[in-house]
Amino acid sequence: SQQGEEDPQALSIQEGENATMNCSYKTSINNLQWYRQNSGRGLVHLILIRSNEREKHSGRLRVTLDTSKKSSSLLITASRAADTASYFCAPVNDYKLSFGAGTTVTVRA
Amino acid sequence: DTGVSQNPRHKITKRGQNVTFRCDPISEHNRLYWYRQTLGQGPEFLTYFQNEAQLEKSRLLSDRFSAERPKGSFSTLEIQRTEQGDSAMYLCASRSGSDTQYFGPGTRLTVL
């Protein structure tokens, strides 16, 4: 299965701190995407990183990709209460997104 | 709003009834996907359309499920003879030639 597996399952941090979550996958990929989901809502696309890229930034988000280790990480800097959500990685080697169970991030005020 | 829209947002039905959900993708997105998400899990792929052609169906899509995209624009997902195990959030996503999939708000189905 190409399913992404996020780690940790849950993360609780203080507002202003950084949050880091990791994603591992099993086979080769074309790209890997990160999504955020607020409770009971649809998924919001955060960032896409291609297999030939090693790092990508978008605002307070930083994503890395290590294809030799088949892993990716998402860093959220200077977290805010509004960052409280579940975060999913989705490795892609055809056209399907294959999600894991996600990392639930709680940002405490 | 030009995002992906889904209707209804919530559906409560009794076991054995049929339900139909609708997805309107972003205009001119020729690729459309359906996913199902149960509590505490990530979305699972159900099926994929390119224009009006259904190109792949997951094994999760039993014979009671059918999806259509008759004119290559909106899509419907029908579940016949619903079971309690069908209770989930049904998500639709669309994309154009780029790799990014844009998701709708989902339809939450509760089967009593």
Number of domains, chain A:
1
pLDDT at B92: 97
Cβ atoms of B18 and B78 closer than 8 Å: yes
Residue A2 banded pLDDT, cuts 50, 70, 90: low
Nearest to B45 among A88, A97, A100 (CB): A97
Answer yes or no: is pLDDT of A42 > 90.
no
Mutate to test the interface with A, among B89, B101, B109 (most CBs of A within 10 A): B101
The pLDDT mean for chain A works out to 93
Question: A98 touching B, CB under 8 A?
Answer: yes
Answer yes or no: is pLDDT of B11 > 60.
yes
Q: Which domain holds residue A10?
A: 5-108
For residue A104, what is the domain's CATH number? 2.60.40.10
Chain A residues with CB inside 8 Å of B108's CB? Answer: 40
Least Cα distance to A98 among B46, B75, B22 occurs for: B46
Three state DSSP letters for A30-89: CEEEEEEECCCCCEEEEEEEECCCCEEEECCEEEEEECCCCEEEEEECCCCHHHCEEEEE
Least Cα distance to A22 among A71, A59, A57, A60 occurs for: A71
- CB within 8 Å: B43 and A43: yes
- Residues B81-104 have a mean pLDDT of 94
Chain A residues with CB inside 8 Å of B35's CB? Answer: 97
Residue B99 banded pLDDT, cuts 50, 70, 90: confident
